[in-house]
A and B are shown apart, each in its own frame.
Chain A
Amino acid sequence: MEFPILSSLIFVPLLGMGVVMLLPKESHKAIRWTSTIISLFPMFVSFWLTWDYFFNFSHSAAMAYVEGPFNWIPSLNIQYYLGVDGISVPMLFLTGLLSTISLIASFGITNRVKEYFAFFLLLEAGMMGVFVALDFFLFYVFWEIMLVPMYFLIGVWGGPRKEYAAIKFFLYTLFGSIFMLVSILILYFTSEPHTLNMMTLIETSPALSHTLQMVCFIFFFIAFAIKVPVWPFHTWLPDAHVEAPTAVSVILAGVLLKMGTYAMLRISWPMFPEALRTLSFWIALLGVIAIIYGALVSMAQKDLKKLVAYSSVSHMGYCMLALAAVSSVTAIAGCMFQMISHGLITGALFLLVGVIYDRAHTREIAAFGGLGAKLPVYSGIMVFFSMAALGLPGMSGFISEFMIFVGAFSALNKVLVGISVLGVVLGAAYMLRMVQRVFLGEFDIARWGGLKDINIRELVTVVPLMLLTLFVGIYPKPLSILLNATLEHLVTLMAR
């Protein structure tokens, strides 16, 4: 039997959680290092997976490294079935990388260290599971299991309104999940023979009646849209992001939001092409609203973290716009690019906001000014990522937005796409305003004279993200080769 690569991505962090729980409560250092070292395993496996997939499997859309389907609960036709293709491999890469980075960024946690790292590893296991599961039940289990550690991570180690933010996040996502559960059950009972295998259901589900397709599609959409979050389901996001500790915000922005768009591409888009075509205008409209609304609200923020949080709403809006352009491989590829680039850039922005918050104990934009002179390295990196976020050419954000606009313009309502381009301008506006007010201008030496520049540990966390942002921005070809076969297959599925 071959080594179960995908299972190891899930079970090594889970095992690591067990190991961390056995360590003595007081030895903070041991706990931090053990969990970081454990998380290196899934990270390197996901790197290797990306490498291997790129050279050996990226020419076809077939599932690679398939495990199963093994019978898990035969009386309910539930299987243990894992596999990856071009859209899950980059997500695994992102999850592996950001998990390790977040664990390193969490070294500053001093309160209840053991529980924190244990929950973090459980979270990683859940995230990996979502991106590899090919059985609906399994997918749902991972989708839900992740909420528990997230609830604790926000609720115990969060900011002043942590309890509110934690339960809001939990309830919102659970509310979405029940819609998914209903759809899953409908699909299960209408398929003959009954199955929960996603791959089989993708083949058979377009044969369902139009009404049933619409119902299932809308239910799945609600579940996934809450996770993305698509306007008007976004209200949990600012609360969760602002109250969560830095590393958790990174995971939230970098991985959790992508689960929504990933699940759309994996499940509801290819399964219900007819419903998708009927509703594509409205999906695009929601995307455009999110782009403009997110950008406008960002502009009004006084808190750095909130600004980044709302910019996420805007950036994920591009993904929705791209996903509405179902006939265009370019747009869908743009969506994948945007997911990855947003994971890198926004992840880094949250890390950087955390860096300044650890030192200054405030995130208020108006409190700062002229930091560029005092903290040159930090300011340089922050400006770099702000530029990346506003879509400066040469960085990944530009590539993704460009692809989305090119793809969407030919496939969608031109007025709508035209309006969405305004989002780029607004994006530049809020990012530049923030840079100006925080890093330029007069420096308050009495108040911030003692600030120290970014340290080595923090640099270790952001530099890989910088390099990847540049790499994707300057040489996007490898990524697009990796995605291409899978996306072309998806587009043919959606054209059924």
Chain B
Amino acid sequence: MDFQLPDYNLRMMLPEIFLFLWSVVVIMFDVITRRKKGDAVGYLTLAGLLICGALLATTGYGRGFGRMFFNEPMALFFKIIFLGAAFMAVGSSFGLMREKIVNHRGEYYGLILMSTLGMMFLASSQELLSLWIGLELTTIPLFILAAFYKDDKLSVEAGIKYFVYGAFSSALLVYGISFLYGLSVTTEIVPMKMNLAAMFIHYGSLGVVPMIAVIIIVAGLGFKISLPPFHQWAPDVYEGSPTPIAAFLSVGSKAAGLVAFAKIMINGLWAFWGAEHAPNDWGYMVGIMACAAMILGNVVAIRQTNIKRMLAYSSIAQAGYIMIGMVAVNEWGLESVSFYIFAYMFANMGAFAVVAVVEDKTGSCQLGTYRGLAQSSPAVSASLAIFLLSLAGIPPLAGFLAKYKVFAAAVSMASYNDAYTWLYWVAGVGLITAVFSLYYYANVIKQMYFSGTVSPYRLKPGVPAATVIAIGLIGVILFGLYPEPILKFVTDIPSAAGVIPR
């Protein structure tokens, strides 16, 4: 037997290779300029992300490294989201760099790029081990970033907490993967599904092992997506870490978890024993977790007085909505997941950008600081109000269309497939908790607008932060009114992901 080298096709990995080199460039630039040129490092990072986006556009679809690396529509779409989230996180970090992190800017930006690289690699991998490595590359820089305020107790606590939880969940994930490997003798996702199906047909049953694997993997990924009962790290970590990092965690890292989930659970495991038994494999479990996320996230968020903690619970709830789309595995399902996270990126990154601007000015994230802000800084307040209304799902903003798509996915699956009638209840829980969510989003608006006093703080976001807020606004409003191009793009995702049409 002669060993054949796979077709590397490195052109497919051009954006990733570039991003890796650029992160080194950013760190080196900071060192060479003796850490004097703070803003320049940031702009360099932004430029790198833009160039990477351009490279991504030229790469197109195709395979690399044999079958390990595959650029398909979902990978491409999520890479855009990762780059967008990184861009917005970097853009809202400039204020922080002036005040708080003066000595390690290069590392800060470099680590964000590294983490983005991990996400992008993960989105393309078609094989469980490289997927796991991508996930590790995503989270390890984030452990450091969460603890970046070295002298701040909360930040260090956030870092440690995130590290312990993250390491544990990665271990779980790799343990689950080992079960799957043991059953199917391959780590490639699509052959794995075929092997499992063949074994199922041959033996008539696979026993309890696949179930254990599924539970462990869901637990491992549940940490990344912050689905209850694996969500407890989120509020503390968001509160302690630098605000742009919290934003990046809530969008980028969550999206990475979702891609991994879609790849393993939908491409790899969904209905390998036939569509008629489908919800038995992981549908019920994830459906219940989604309900728990929506109820818990939305109810606990009401009681928060720190806006970052509130947004943390809101992001737990949003993960629940996204998982509705994931559970409704039909042609609407993955589309809705993709569109949801896309719309969520603009609204959530925008909201966090405003929070960062407020924090830079006032040094506080308490809701009370927002009192009367509408009169001293009308533009920033209006932006935050629009972001929050989009998160709450008020039309015609993009967040509404995202929720509409998710619920539509659930209702369509429930009305076509008798095994999925329980999705009506999941959708019902989602809709009712969506009403709860309005309460705490509106509470921030109330603080900003309804108070008679004028806030003493006049917010003047710098150019990068203002750009980030503007991008968020354009995204939320434009893709609410004219989502057609994105919807067209996401329609390719389910078929490429191997979802069986109904």
A residues near B (Cβ < 8 Å) are 73-76, 112, 115, 137, 140-141, 144-145, 147-148, 151-152, 155-156, 162-163, 166-167, 170-171, 174-175, 178, 181-182, 185-186, 188-190
6 contacts between A and B (CB under 8 A): A73-B483, A162-B450, A167-B442, A174-B434, A185-B407, A189-B412
Among A112, A141, A147, A185, which residue has the most Cβ atoms of chain B within 10 A? A185
Per the CB 8 Å criterion, the residue count for chain B at the interface is: 34
Given the known inter-chain contacts A156-B450, A167-B439, please indicate yes or no for A185 contacting B488, CB distance below 8 A. Answer: no
Work out how many contacts link A and B, with CB atoms closer than 8 A. Answer: 80
Q: How far is the CA of A137 from the CA of B434 in the complex (A)?
A: 18
Cβ–Cβ contact B439 & A75, under 8 A: no
Cβ-defined contact, A188 with B431, below 8 A: no
Interface presence of B415 (CB below 8 A):
yes
B interface majority secondary structure = helix
B404 touches A181 (CB 8 A): yes
Whether B238 sits at the interface, judged by CB under 8 Å, is no
| Interface of chain A: mostly helix, strand, loop or mixed | helix
The distance in angstroms between the C-alpha atoms of A175 and B427, with both chains bound, is: 14
Residue of B nearest to A147 (CB): B394
User: Which chain A residues border B416 with CB–CB below 8 Å?
Assistant: 189
Chain A residues, CB < 8 A from B374: 115
User: Which of A137, A148, A175 makes the CB contact (< 8 A) with B394?
Assistant: A148
Question: Nearest Cβ in chain B — how far from A367, in angstroms?
Answer: 26
- Whether B407 lies near A74 (C-beta < 8 A) is no
B375 within 8 A of A: yes
The 5 A-B pairs of least Cβ separation, nearest first, read A178-B431, A141-B395, A75-B487, A185-B411, A155-B450
Q: A140-B395, A190-B415 are in contact. List 11 more A-B contacts (CB 8 A).
A: A75-B488, A76-B405, A155-B446, A170-B442, A171-B435, A174-B435, A175-B435, A181-B431, A185-B408, A189-B411, A189-B416
Is B439's CB under 8 angstroms from A156's CB?
A: no
- Give min CB distance, A368 to chain B, whole Å: 29
Pick the contact of A145: B396, B407, B442 (CB < 8 A). B396
Q: What residues of chain A lie closer than 8 Å to B405, measured between beta carbons?
A: 76
- The smallest beta-carbon distance between A194 and chain B, in angstroms, is 9
Identify the closest chain A residue to B485 (Cβ): A75
Instruction: Say yes or no: A182 contacts B427, CB within 8 Å.
Output: yes
**Chain B residues near A175 (CB-CB < 8 A):** 432, 435
Contact residues of B with A, CB < 8 Å?
374-375, 389, 394-396, 400, 404-405, 407-408, 411-412, 415-416, 427-428, 431-432, 434-435, 438-439, 442, 445-446, 449-450, 482-484, 487-488, 491
Contacts of B439 in A (CB 8 A): 167, 171
In the complex, A186 Cα to B421 Cα: how many Å?
Answer: 13
**Residues of chain B lying within 8 A (CB to CB) of residue A144:** 394-395, 400
In angstroms, Cα B482 to Cα A181, docked, is 20
Closest to B407 in A: A185
In the complex, the chain B residue whose C-beta lies closest to that of A75 is: B487
Contacts of B450 in A (CB 8 A): 155-156, 162-163, 166
Distance between B233 CB and nearest chain A CB, rounded to angstroms: 31
Chain A: CB-nearest residue to B416 = A189
Closest chain B CB from A281 CB (angstroms): 28
- Which residues in A have their C-beta under 8 angstroms from that of B484? 73-75
Bound CA–CA A171/B449 (angstroms) = 18
- Give the Cβ gap from B482 to chain A, nearest Cβ, in Å: 8
- Minimum Cβ distance to chain B for residue A35 (Å): 18
Residue of A nearest to B452 (CB): A111
B407, B445, B483: the one contacting A181 at CB < 8 Å is: B407
A467–B431 Cα distance when bound, in Å, is 45
| Closest partner residue, chain A, to B392 (CB atom) | A174
Tell me, rounded to whole Å, the shortest Cβ–Cβ distance linking B31 to chain A: 47
CB distance from A360 to the nearest CB of B (A): 22
Residues of B within 8 A of A188 (CB): 408
How far does the Cβ of B325 sit from chain A's closest Cβ, in whole Å? 14
Alpha-carbon gap, A144 to B401, bound state (A): 13
Q: Which residue of B lies closest to A140 (CB)?
A: B395
CB pair A182–B428 under 8 Å, yes or no, is yes
Q: How far is the CB of B77 from chain A (nearest CB, A)?
A: 15
Q: Which residues of chain A come closer than 8 Å to B431, judged between CB atoms?
A: 178, 181-182
Q: Which A residue's beta carbon lies closest to that of B414? A: A189
Q: How far is the CB of A319 from chain B (nearest CB, A)?
A: 26
B490, chain A: closest CB distance, angstroms? 9
Q: How far is the CA of A167 from the CA of B405 in the complex (A)?
A: 26
Give B431's nearest chain A residue, CB to CB.
Answer: A178
Which B residues lie within 8 Å of A112 (CB)?
A: 375
Residues of B within 8 A of A145 (CB): 394-396
In contact, B396 and A186 (Cβ under 8 angstroms) = no
Pair B396/A141 contact, Cβ less than 8 Å: yes
Q: Is B487 a contact of A76 with CB atoms below 8 Å?
A: yes
Interface pair B483/A170, CB less than 8 Å apart? no
**B493, chain A: closest CB distance, angstroms:** 12
In the complex, chain B residues whose CB is within 8 Å of the CB of A170: 438, 442
Inter-chain contacts of B404 with A (CB < 8 A): 76, 137, 181
Hey, which chain B residues are within 8 Å of A73, CB to CB? 482-484, 487
Of chain B, the residue at the smallest CB distance from A25 is: B378
Instruction: Contact check, A148 vs B375: say whether CB atoms are below 8 A apart.
Output: no
Pick from A137, A167, A186: contact of B411, CB under 8 Å: A186
Give the distance in Å from the alpha carbon of A189 to the alpha carbon of B332 in the complex: 12
Q: Smallest Cβ distance from A460 to chain B, in angstroms?
A: 30
| B375, B439, B446, B450 pick with most chain A CB within 10 angstroms | B450
Chain B nearest Cβ from A438, distance in angstroms: 31
**Contact among B394, B395, B408, B449 with A152 in the assembled complex (CB-CB below 8 Å):** B449
What CA separation (Å) do A284 and B408 show in the bound complex?
33
Choose one: B395, B411, B438, B491; the contact of A171 (CB below 8 Å). Answer: B438
Kindly list chain B residues whose C-beta atoms are within 8 Å of the C-beta of A137.
404
**Chain B residues within 8 Å of A174, by CB:** 434-435, 438
Chain B residue contacts of A162, Cβ below 8 A: 450
- Tell me the complex Cα distance, A145–B480, Å: 12
Our pick among B432, B442, B482 for the contact of A178 (Cβ within 8 Å) is B432
Q: For residue B199, give the distance in angstroms from its CB to the closest CB of chain A.
A: 36
